Amino acid sequence: MKKISALAAILILSGCSTTATVDETAQVSEDTITQAQTPVEEVVEAISLTVAAQPSDARVRIMNIKPKYESGIELKEGKYDVEVSKPGYTTYREWVVVDKRTILTVELSKAEEI
């Protein structure tokens, strides 16, 4: 067997290092970059109707649907026949377009006595 000179051994072993440094930024996969650049989906508010009535104990009804009105009721986009009433007051009734979160303010006036 031939003896390898010390210089030849150093040259051979110099390319065989057992320690290595890792550049973590170079390790990022393309999938990770794509996910990070994907925009966050916009939160869509529910379409709803809230009627703020004065007096506060007035009765609120939506005449063209079956579900009973409750504050912040979620609805499909469309037109709704809203009635606000209370004995001794003039009734409010109007078609309201609901296409987003809608707050309708209604102030009933005292009915005229005859």
- Successive 10-residue mean pLDDT values, the chain, 114 residues: 50 49 53 55 79 97 96 96 97 97 96 78
Q: Say if 67 falls within a structural domain.
A: yes
Domain enclosing residue 78, as ranges: 48-107
Is 68 within a domain?
A: yes
Q: Is residue 18 part of a domain?
A: no
Phi, psi of 35 (to 5 degrees): -65, -40
Give pTM, 2 decimals: 0.60
Any domain includes 30: no
Does 37 map to a domain?
Answer: no
Residue 6 within a domain: no
Q: How many domains does the chain have?
A: 1
Whether residue 36 is contained in a domain is answered as no
Say if 97 falls within a structural domain.
yes
> Judging by beta carbons within 10 Å of its beta carbon (0-12, 13-18, 19+), is residue 98 exposed, middle or buried?
buried
